[in-house]
């Protein structure tokens, strides 16, 4: 059974600092997604990583995927308060028919001035 873990689950960091959120999954998976959820709001897609070694960057966020290690990272550079949110990773497997996407528990990020 595919399981997805994230760490840390809670992260408080100062503005201007760098940090990395980790997403581990238990079985071979081919694709990984990162989502952001602002407090009280819905989720929005951040990154789609479709192959081993994929790297995507948007502003101060950079995501990467290592399918051999079953690991994705979300790196935050020079954090700003606007990045405070909960970040979810999700994984699925390429198959001929639909196979469900499994979400991690989320990492709640708080950026402090």
Residues in touch with another protein (CB under 8 A): 31, 33, 35, 41-45, 48, 50, 88, 90, 92, 94, 97-98, 100-101, 103-106
Distance, CA of 46 to CA of 28 (rounded, Å): 22
Closer by beta carbon to another protein, 59 or else 105: 105
Distance, CA of 41 to CA of 59 (rounded, Å): 21
Closest contact distance (angstroms) between CB of 78 and another protein is 27
Instruction: Name which of 58, 63, 84 is nearest 73 in CA terms.
Output: 63
Burial 53-81 (b: 16+ CB within 10 A, else e): ebebeeeebbbbbebeebebbbebbebee
């Amino acid at each position: 059974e595919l399981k997805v873990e994230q760490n840390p689950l809670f992260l408080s960091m100062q503005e201007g600092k760098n940090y990395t959120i980790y997403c581990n999954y238990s079985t071979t998976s081919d694709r990984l997604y990162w989502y952001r959820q602002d407090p009280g709001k819905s989720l929005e897609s951040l990154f789609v990583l479709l192959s081993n070694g994929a790297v995507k960057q948007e502003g101060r966020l950079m995501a990467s995927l290592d399918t051999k290690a079953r690991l994705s990272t979300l790196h935050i550079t020079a954090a700003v308060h606007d990045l405070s949110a909960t970040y979810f990773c999700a994984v699925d497997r390429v198959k001929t028919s639909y196979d469900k996407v499994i979400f991690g528990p989320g990492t709640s990020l708080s950026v402090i001035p």
